[in-house]
């Protein structure tokens, strides 16, 4: 997955290790149509670097489309979860700013829910170095659809502690300028079906929660639990539908 940087590569990596197992089962996957958009190109099996691969949520969709993936992440714990999910995928510990691959090693680079951890200038240099001629960079994020009232209320509660950790547009523009690259975008949708307690546990895997001290984390997650128990859109429901808007960006170096 992905010094103090935009949000800090190594700092961010350390925040995910203790929650790797929960991350693997509680985070949403990515819509196949959005992933196909990221990898638009020759109609053949491609070698793809999943940069900031985490537990392999995006890797799984890319391999499912028939491509070969090399997964790189700074967290050994996250990569261990990926290997349990996808034992045939090669993995390596590394960052966007120091990719442990040879020059011109891959046909495409993708990053799911990760590029906001990258330092744009050194990351762009590394991405350009490992990409073969004609390759592209694909960035993708799932963002809770806060037009749904209970999701909006949840988002307002999260905003009090997240400090913009999930914003993506700035890093897309920065990476496009550094590469430099032309940008194409598409939007898709996905819905997770979760129990209220799974929603709480999933929020507990977010970096801004994982780095809290134990008392603050308990207090914050109790507030999330309270909201779900009281809100008219969630109160008394054993299963909730948590909708996401998926934004995908395909950067084609000039």
- pLDDT tens digits, one per residue of 143-198: 999 999 999 999 999 999 987 655 577 999 999 999 999 999 999 999 999 999 99
> Is a pLDDT exceeding 70 seen at residue 9?
no
| pLDDT surpasses 60 at 3 | no
The number of C-alpha atoms within 13 Å of 208 and in the hemisphere containing its C-beta is: 15
- The per-residue pLDDT for range 215-230, each reduced to its tens digit, is 999 999 999 999 999 9
For 62, the token pair is: 């890319």
Which residues are CB-contacts of 149 (< 8 A; sequence separation ≥ 6)? 231, 232, 233
CA distance 250 to 139: 7
Helix (H, G, I), strand (E, B) or coil at 218: helix
Facing residues of 47 across strands?
A: 68
Whole-angstrom distance, CA of residue 139 vs CA of residue 51: 10
Find, among 248, 182, 190, the residue nearest to 38 by Cα: 248
Average pLDDT for 205-216: 91
**Does residue 137 contact residue 118 with C-beta atoms inside 8 Å?**
no
DSSP string, 65-133: TT-EEEEEES-HHHHHHHHHH-TTSEEEE-BTTB--S-TT-EEEEEEES-GGGS-HHHHHHHHHHHEEE
Query: Is the preceding peptide bond at 180 cis, omega within 30 degrees of 0?
Result: yes
Q: How many CA atoms does the CB half-sphere of 23 hold within 13 Å? A: 27
Q: Determine contact, residues 104/77, Cβ cutoff 8 Å.
A: no
Structure tokens at 97: 């700013």
Q: Which two tokens stand for residue 174?
A: 């920065």
Give 147's DSSP letter: T
Alpha carbon distance 61, 48 (integer Å) = 12
pTM of the model: 0.89
Mean pLDDT, range 56-77, rounded to an integer: 97
How many residues are listed for the chain in this entry?
A: 254
Per residue in 13-29, pLDDT tens? 445 555 677 777 889 99
> Model confidence over 240-253: pLDDT tens digits?
999 999 999 999 99
Domains of the chain: 9-192+243-253 (3.40.50.150)
């Amino acid at each position: 997955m992905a010094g103090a940087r935009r949000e800090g590569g190594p700092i961010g990596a350390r925040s995910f290790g203790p929650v790797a197992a929960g991350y693997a089962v509680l985070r949403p996957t990515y819509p196949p149509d959005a992933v196909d958009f990221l990898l638009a190109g020759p109609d053949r099996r491609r070698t793809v670097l999943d940069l900031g691969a985490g537990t392999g949520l995006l890797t799984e969709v890319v391999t499912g489309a028939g491509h070969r993936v090399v997964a790189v992440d700074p967290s050994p714990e996250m990569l261990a979860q990926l290997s349990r999910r996808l034992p045939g995928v090669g993995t390596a510990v590394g960052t966007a700013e120091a990719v442990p691959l040879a020059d011109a090693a891959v046909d495409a680079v993708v990053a799911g829910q990760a590029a906001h951890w990258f330092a744009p200038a050194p990351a762009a240099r590394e991405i350009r170095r490992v990409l073969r001629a004609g390759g592209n960079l694909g960035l993708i994020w799932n963002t809770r659809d806060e037009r749904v009232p209970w999701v909006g209320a949840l988002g307002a509660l999260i905003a009090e502690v997240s400090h913009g950790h999930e914003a993506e547009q700035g890093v897309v523009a920065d990476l496009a300028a550094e590469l430099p690259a032309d940008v194409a975008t598409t939007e898709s949708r996905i819905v997770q079906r979760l129990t209220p307690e799974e929603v709480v546990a999933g929020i507990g895997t977010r970096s801004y929660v994982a780095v809290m001290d134990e008392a603050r984390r308990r207090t914050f997650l109790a507030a999330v639990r309270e909201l779900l128990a009281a809100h008219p859109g969630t109160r008394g429901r054993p299963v909730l539908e948590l909708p996401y808007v998926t934004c995908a960006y395909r950067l084609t170096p000039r």
